[in-house]
């Protein structure tokens, strides 16, 4: 803590405010560069997805491998509403909230089935259910099966002062930024509440928490509801932004294992159980991934080799995540970090 004008300033809060301001201003120098704006939008969407996983796994201790089911549920809800209902074809934005709600219902169903299991058994069960959902979507005529669904571009919003053209990428950036900030605030508010403290006690020792008379199943279901809603809303926005979704096994598919693993990698890299960690992880995972894909695109798979090597270094050197290391350095200096490195090197 430091003092400025007689008031105490939390360094972490100051950094958070600075990051928000930087995020609002980020597109201005690159407003005409469509590709870079697209990368920024994807970073924000997947930061929201990572934040959703962080709430369930980082704070409640439930390591899900099934967030692709919620992300895909939200994406398909919006896509099918725009496909079958004229109102949503011309105004898809309410469908983002509907997609989040449908995803939360899927989340409650998954929780009811899987929360009797723990640890790796819970993770594998969520993965299996996600694959079942993907196969159902891929083989159902109503969802257009393997053909996928094309989402029409929303019409322009015209006012006397300005016009928002959704054929451009910039409007999506600010929508995605708002969604990411709301999700981060929700996780922050939950983590600081009595409910959040009980979730963290479940993460640390569920049996001990239950022995105190806490209904751990109900608390986990509440966490699942919130987490799935955020993931579903992110998936719905992704569907509008990308304009096409399908149930394929390609990395871009909304129901693939990649979509479940990505938020896990992002959160671990940035810092599990922190608010800023998933945002940092998403920026590194998506930003670095796109850079390597463009740089090494001439050789299939080479970008993934480089990507994996970089992440192995991050995992070994920053086991608390990048934000965890930053907080440690701010509060205690470089001593604890050097000690961890020496321990890692066996010295």
Span 70-99, mean pLDDT? 95
Percentage of residues in the chain having pLDDT higher than 70: 91
Q: Is the pLDDT of residue 25 over 80?
A: yes
Q: Is the pLDDT of residue 13 over 80?
A: no
The angle formed by the CA atoms of residues 262, 63 and 290, to the nearest 5 degrees, is 5
Confidence tier at 345 by pLDDT (50, 70, 90) = low
Please state the pTM of the whole predicted model.
0.90
Q: Read out DSSP for 232-294?
A: HHHHHHHHHHHSEE---SSTT-TTSHHHHHHHHHHHHHH-TT-SSHHHHHHHHHHHHHHHHHH
Residues near 310 by Cβ (< 8 Å), separated by ≥ 6?
A: 288
For CA atoms 72, 75, 77, 79, give the dihedral sign: negative
Structural domain of residue 160, as residue ranges? 31-263
pLDDT tens, position by position, 138-186? 999 999 998 999 999 998 888 878 788 898 999 999 999 999 999 999 9
User: 150 - beta bridge partners?
Assistant: 244
Q: Is the pLDDT of residue 298 over 70?
A: no
d(C-alpha 119, C-alpha 129), whole Å: 16
Q: What pLDDT is attached to residue 3?
A: 47
Is position 73 within any domain?
A: yes
Long-range pairs, 308-314, Cβ under 8 A, ≥24: 311/265, 311/269, 314/269
Residue predicted with more confidence, 6 or 47: 47
Q: Is the pLDDT of residue 17 over 70?
A: yes
- Rg of the chain over all Cα atoms, to the nearest angstrom: 21
Is position 343 within any domain?
A: no
Is position 125 within any domain?
A: yes
Is position 186 within any domain?
A: yes
Q: Is the pLDDT of residue 319 over 80?
A: no
The angle formed by the CA atoms of residues 67, 208 and 121, to the nearest 5 degrees, is 35
Is position 204 within any domain?
A: yes
Is position 279 within any domain?
A: no
Residue predicted with more confidence, 347 or 194: 194
User: How many domains does the chain contain in total?
Assistant: 1
Is position 87 within any domain?
A: yes
């Amino acid at each position: 803590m430091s003092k400025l004008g007689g008031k105490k300033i939390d360094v972490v809060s100051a950094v958070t405010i600075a990051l928000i301001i930087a995020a609002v201003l980020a597109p201005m120098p690159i407003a005409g560069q469509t590709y870079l704006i697209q990368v920024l939008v994807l970073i924000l969407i997947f930061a929201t997805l990572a934040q959703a996983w962080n709430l369930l796994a980082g704070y409640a201790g439930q390591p899900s491998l099934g967030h692709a089911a919620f992300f895909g549920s939200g994406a398909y809800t919006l896509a099918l509403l725009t496909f079958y209902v004229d109102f949503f074809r011309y105004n898809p934005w309410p469908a983002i909230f509907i997609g989040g709600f449908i995803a939360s219902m899927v989340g409650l169903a998954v929780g009811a089935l899987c929360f009797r299991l723990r640890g790796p058994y819970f993770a594998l069960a969520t993965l299996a259910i996600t694959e079942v959902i993907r196969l159902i979507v891929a083989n159902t005529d109503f969802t257009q099966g393997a053909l996928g669904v094309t989402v029409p571009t929303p019409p322009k919003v015209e006012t006397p002062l300005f016009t928002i053209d959704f054929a451009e990428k910039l409007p999506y950036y600010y929508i995605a930024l708002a969604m990411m900030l709301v999700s981060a605030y929700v996780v922050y508010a939950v983590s600081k509440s009595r409910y959040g403290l009980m979730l963290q006690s479940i993460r640390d020792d569920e049996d001990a928490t239950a022995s105190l008379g806490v209904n751990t199943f109900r608390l986990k279901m509440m966490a699942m509801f919130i987490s799935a809603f955020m993931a579903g809303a992110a998936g719905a926005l992704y569907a509008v932004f990308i304009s096409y979704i399908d149930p394929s096994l390609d990395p871009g598919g909304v129901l693939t294992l990649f979509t479940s693993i990505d938020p896990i990698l992002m959160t671990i890299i940035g810092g599990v159980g922190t608010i800023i960690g998933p945002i940092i992880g998403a920026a590194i995972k998506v930003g670095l991934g796109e850079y390597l894909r463009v740089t090494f695109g001439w050789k299939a798979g080479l970008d993934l080799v480089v990507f994996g090597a970089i992440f192995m270094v991050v995992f070994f050197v920053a086991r608390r995540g990048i934000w965890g290391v930053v907080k440690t350095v701010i509060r205690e200096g470089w001593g604890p970090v050097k000690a961890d490195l020496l321990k890692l090197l066996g010295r």
